[in-house]
Every structure is written in C-alpha cells, then in structure tokens.
Amino acid sequence: DAGVIQSPRHEVTEMGQEVTLRCKPISGHDYLFWYRQTMMRGLELLIYFNNNVPIDDSGMPEDRFSAKMPNASFSTLKIQPSEPRDSAVYFCASSLAGDSTDTQYFGPGTRLTVL
C-alpha cells in the first residue's frame, strides 16, 4: 500500500482565498483524522471520521473550516476564506479500527502558507 496520500504537498495562497486539502487514507481503514501542526500550538486534532461519518469536530477552529468524507477513499479539508493565521502543516492520518491499541498512519502533510 502507498500509505496515506495527501495533496498538494505545498500550497501558497492569498488571504481570503478558498483552500482545499485532500487526503486518501490507506485502503480498508475505517478511521480518518485531520491534524494541524504549528510551532505555537504543536499538533492538534481537528476532526475525525468513522466510516465516512464525522465523529468529533470539536477541534475545528471556526466556521471557516469544513471537512468532508464523501467515500471511504477520499476526504477534503476546506478553509474559506483563508487567513494568515491558518498557515500551518496539515496532516491526514488513518487507522484500521477504533480501539486504544490501534495505530494511526500519517500522511506527509500539506504545508499551507496564507499571505
């Protein structure tokens, strides 16, 4: 398996523009997670899905952020409108099952810069 795939790897955009980040989880994994990493706040969970259904979105910073998972092999994280403070590395991760012994597999991340 190719692992978790994220695109784009780098995104530079201007304030106010819409940004869409994409993720393809490992085939067969039922859980998908979106994280954000900044120097100030470290790695934070934004939202996670189980079988394509959002389970916990309490980490989503505000209404400008939205995430969808239309099918088992694809998820998007959208920011509209984007702001400079959204600049961060966004990671997608997936896991096979939903218990405390399971492992999350992370993608390479998307580095977002909002000017």
* Interface contacts to other proteins, rule CB under 8 A: 4, 31, 33, 35, 42-45, 48, 50, 55-56, 91, 93, 95, 97-109
Residue 67, burial from CB neighbour count under 10 angstroms (0-12, 13-18, 19+): buried
- Please state the closest distance from residue 43 (CB atom) to other proteins, in A: 4
In 3-state terms, what secondary structure has residue 73?
A: coil
**Identity of the residue, 35 or 65, whose beta carbon is nearer to other proteins in the bound complex:** 35
- Please state the closest distance from residue 42 (CB atom) to other proteins, in A: 6
Tell me, what amino acid is at 113?
Answer: T
